[in-house]
Amino acid sequence: MVRSSVLGYPRIGEDREWKKALEGFWSGKFEEAEFHRQLQEIRLNHLRKQQEKGIDLIAVNDFSYYDHVLDTATMFGIIPKRFSYKGGVVPLSIYYGIARGTKDATASEMTKWFNTNYHYIVPELSEASPVLTENKPLLAYREAKEKLGVEGKPVIVGPLTFLKLSKGYSLSETDTWLSRLLPLYVQVLQELAAEGVQWVQIDEPILVTKLSAADLQRLKSIYETFAASVPNLNIMLQTYFESIENYSDIVALPVKGIGLDLVQGLSGNISSLKTLGFPEDKVLGAGVIDGRGIWKAELGEKRVLLEELAEFVTAERIIVQSSCSLLHVPVTTKHETKLVNELKDALAFADEKLDELVLLTKAVSQGGSEITAILEENDHAIEPLKLSGERNRSDIQNAVFAISAQNPERSHPFSERHLAQQNKWQLPILPTTTIGSFPQSPEVRKARQQWRKGEWNSEQYAAFIREQIDIWIKLQEEIGLDVLVHGEFERTDMVEFFGEKLAGFAFTQNGWVQSYGSRCVKPPVIFGDVAFKGAMTVEETKYAQSRTERPVKGMLTGPITILNWSFVREDITREQIAYQLAYALRHEVEALEQAGIGMIQVDEPAVREGLPLKEEEHEKYLAWAVKAFRMATCTVQETTQIHTHMCYCEFHDMINSIEEMDADVISIETSRSHGELIHSFELNTYKLGIGLGVYDIHSPRIPYVEEMTSMIERALRVLDPKLFWINPDCGLKTRGLKETVDSLRNMVEATQIARAKYASLV
């Protein structure tokens, strides 16, 4: 009999109850016992919902107090020494210290989970002594069974993926570390088997990337060890985000099931199935419902796909499931009362995807005219959006086609621009600036709410924003920053703000997803052709510039970041959408320049995360991503300085592409990775302006002057001081007033120390 399953469910709750619980605990609003109670209630509600909808195999241990990779590390006692861990179950003070930092210990690095907008905490293996602190999957299984009668499917990050995503060891130590971790995994699985667990989902998304022969041998050794240690435990080896590499090796592993992504990885995985078949002794986890996209599945097509799979796998050996965890989509569409019908009818969030899974499972296992009618009704609901005028604007399509056929270039090379800009701005060596946003205080959020509800008119709200700009222009001058920003007080989110002012976008009321920790974002929906409607940032930026003689940067979000941080339409390519965005943003860049703004920052923090998981597709993606950025920025004068910003990704393998963007100044996060990015510049000469973030804004701690001085010193060993800028590693929206001011004062003090050393270069 065909069964249904999901690989994981969103943690945050319909109304972000999870986020509120975390932040309430961190702020001291309630004690730890109450915190555990609240999170258990949220967790059980999620399981109950899946149970009531009829999901057959319900994931447990997919819930987290912060991040599932951090959970795995702490379960195995992998705690950086700076947190003074004494053994036993890891207390929340250390757990959250690793994630967020403490007064005396910096947080662990945070980076993207494959090519998604979810961030995980990078495990630090150096000097750790792994030990099983508690069997978290077992506890989750027991809770689900005892409280709800749910026969859960524990989810665990697999050993190879965990190891490959960790840091703090050399390649030569890989087998040593595997030998330390493997017994702990075996202990977890043996305890699960002893408890009577039927299925365990071991997530190995690393298998969709290119593996070495040595890694394939390690993979074989891992799963042979599991098979020998827990011979009666059904292991679903789960992959997602793309098609698997080394198909023959992977399907030959001694596991009960193989989970394949048949959405993002459809082409490659189907090709492997048709060419190489599927083992008769295994179950296929058919990931046919998109776990990352928000659009309704065309269930008629999905039914045909599942029927085609019957050529390779008998029906009783198919589990119909999501392509990946539903962590990456909002919880439910039921609260979306303001979307036009043609759009809302085409959407499916996590709960609606549960319904799709159950319906498809019935369609394959039972059939019948009633089920067929429901499938057809679903597919008809999608048609109006396909035919809408918003998706078929020939004026935009023709204009974008014309400019995308050109090669976007600045009118002068960087060497000439740099001299012209220096003559214009007369900045000191090692100029200081920030990335753009300042704290969104309760007063700022309240004012925005009052304006959105109609309690304030636009004039009142604009006056309030000008007051905030005045306060922060003065503060920036007092702190001693050289290049100022207006603070972005009028913006909720760096993508949503621009989407609200462009054609082709829609916005949900409650479409939140987790980005990192308690940070949730509400991605816009790009459902139509993107078009410029009018100036978006000129008023506030021009006002800020009028309040100071120091340069104020205009602040925009770049085309690739808007693309990668939105839910996008699927009827045209991502490249085409990027060019539409670039064309619209070009209008805004030109409007800022015409308003007298001579420094314009076009942020692209999400360029790296959009990099395809397949190496052979990297070059093509980077080519059109760079082209889109240049399309947006290439028409300005030589004296107009274009800045950009990137954060929380591995950039060492795309330094050349970053340089090809031809931004006059780029700022890149390097503080949380403890300066490791600097090594990339020891190997690659970088000839444009650059600022490596000297402190971590995602941690509430105030960095010491000495820490930042050390970071600056290390960077200037390999980067030209005459091209180097000093800044935090990201925007300051989430920080408090005092910590922001104190941190920036320390940053300026560290800069003055460095300037004294390099003053002779001026």
Residues involved in catalysis: 698
Say whether 669 counts as a known binding-site residue. Answer: yes
Round to whole Å and give the CA distance between 127 and 130: 10
Say whether 603 counts as a known binding-site residue. Answer: yes
Round to whole Å and give the CA distance between 57 and 196: 15
Residue 168 contacts residue 205 (beta carbons within 8 Å): no
Please count the other Cβ atoms lying within 10 Å of the Cβ belonging to residue 537: 25
Round to whole Å and give the CA distance between 3 and 357: 9
Say whether 17 counts as a known binding-site residue. Answer: yes
**What's at 682, amino acid-wise?**
E
476 Cβ contact partners less than 8 Å away, ≥ 6 residues apart: 434, 484, 485, 548, 550
436 Cβ contact partners less than 8 Å away, ≥ 6 residues apart: 485, 488, 494, 553, 555, 601, 603, 645, 731
Residue 414 contacts residue 664 (beta carbons within 8 Å): yes
Round to whole Å and give the CA distance between 761 and 721: 8
**Both tokens of residue 559?**
């085309």
The dihedral sign for the CA sequence 656, 662, 665, 667 = negative
| Residue 126 φ/ψ, nearest 5 degrees | -55, 130
Residue 198's SS3 state is coil
Round to whole Å and give the CA distance between 532 and 584: 5
Say whether 324 counts as a known binding-site residue. Answer: no
Residue 246's SS3 state is coil
- The pairing of strands 599-603 and 641-646 is parallel
Strands, DSSP E only, in 689-748?
689-692, 724-725
What is the H or E stretch that residue 592 is in? helix 574-594
Round to whole Å and give the CA distance between 128 and 163: 13
Say whether 647 counts as a known binding-site residue. Answer: yes
Helices (H) and strands (E) in the chain, counts: 28, 21
Q: End-to-end alpha-carbon separation of the chain, Å? A: 76
Say whether 55 counts as a known binding-site residue. Answer: no
Say whether 437 counts as a known binding-site residue. Answer: yes
Residue 358 contacts residue 55 (beta carbons within 8 Å): yes
b (16+ CB within 10 A) / e for 382-416: beebeeeebeebeebeeebeeebeeebebeeebee
Round to whole Å and give the CA distance between 455 and 78: 51
Say whether 609 counts as a known binding-site residue. Answer: yes
Rounded to whole angstroms, what are the CA distances from 448 to 204, 458, 548?
43, 10, 25
Closest among 67, 24, 72 to 202, alpha carbons compared: 72
Closest among 420, 466, 424 to 447, alpha carbons compared: 466
Say whether 61 counts as a known binding-site residue. Answer: no
Say whether 16 counts as a known binding-site residue. Answer: yes
Say whether 730 counts as a known binding-site residue. Answer: yes
Residue 642's SS3 state is strand
**Both tokens of residue 130?**
């792994």
**Residue in this structure with the two tokens 């000495």, named with its chain if needed:** 706
Say whether 650 counts as a known binding-site residue. Answer: no
Round to whole Å and give the CA distance between 301 and 471: 57
DSSP string, 517-554: TTEEE---EEEEEEEE-S-SSHHHHHHHHHT-SS-BEE
Say whether 470 counts as a known binding-site residue. Answer: no
Say whether 423 counts as a known binding-site residue. Answer: no
Round to whole Å and give the CA distance between 408 and 418: 19
Maximum Cα interatomic distance, the chain, rounded to a whole number of Å: 83
- Rg (alpha carbons) of the chain, rounded to whole number: 26
Say whether 436 counts as a known binding-site residue. Answer: yes
Say whether 519 counts as a known binding-site residue. Answer: yes
Annotated binding site: 16-19, 112, 117, 435-437, 488, 519-520, 565, 603, 609, 645, 647, 669, 730
Annotated binding site for Zn(2+): which residue ranges? Answer: 645, 647, 669, 730
Binding residues for L-homocysteine: 435-437, 488, 603
Please report, in range form, the residues annotated as the binding site for 5-methyltetrahydropteroyltri-L-glutamate.
Answer: 16-19, 112, 117, 519-520, 565, 609
